[in-house]
Amino acid sequence: MALTKAKAEFTLHPYEHDAHAQAYGEEAADALGVPHERIFKTLVAEVEGALAVAVVPVSGKLDLKALAAALGGKKAAMADAAKVERVTGYVVGGISPLGQRKRLPTVVDASALEFATIYFSAGKRGLQIETAPANLISLTGALTAAIGGAG
């Protein structure tokens, strides 16, 4: 695991995943008793035809225009789920910003910096990683920008 290799401090938080859940991030927040603002979802979008990763709080939604701007583009759209699973190696609802098959440009919402630690998917439904936002940013080579709009 990238965090172990980097000797970064982190905690794994397993929880019982409900196979019928539709909102995976909210499910994780509720199961772990963590405010929705501290659980971040990993979304993949196409910016000017290239895939990019956006990490935003589950309490909001991704501002596609802000994501495109952060990456120097004009337009962004959510990527096709099947393509995302193929490129990242993860299933939707369990996509981690770490350990993807192919390293994609990544943008973490600036709100992550307001917390000592944040939570995000460990790569499967029912498992979250808690670590300092700086660890995530460093290991993914991410930019930070205000890309999480109000929910």
pLDDT tens, residue by residue, 6-40:
898 999 999 998 888 888 889 999 999 999 999 99
Contacts of 36 (CB under 8 A, 6+ apart): 25, 26, 29, 57, 58, 59
Could you give the CA distance from residue 105 to residue 30 in angstroms, rounded to a whole number? 29
Residue 142 has pLDDT above 80, yes or no: yes
pLDDT for res 3: 85
Taking Cα atoms as reference points, which of 5, 6, 15 lies closest to residue 122?
A: 15
Domain segments of the chain as ranges: 2-150
Could you give the CA distance from residue 116 to residue 40 in angstroms, rounded to a whole number? 14
CATH class of the region 2-150: alpha beta
- Residue with the larger pLDDT of the pair 137 and 25: 137
Q: pTM for this structure?
A: 0.95
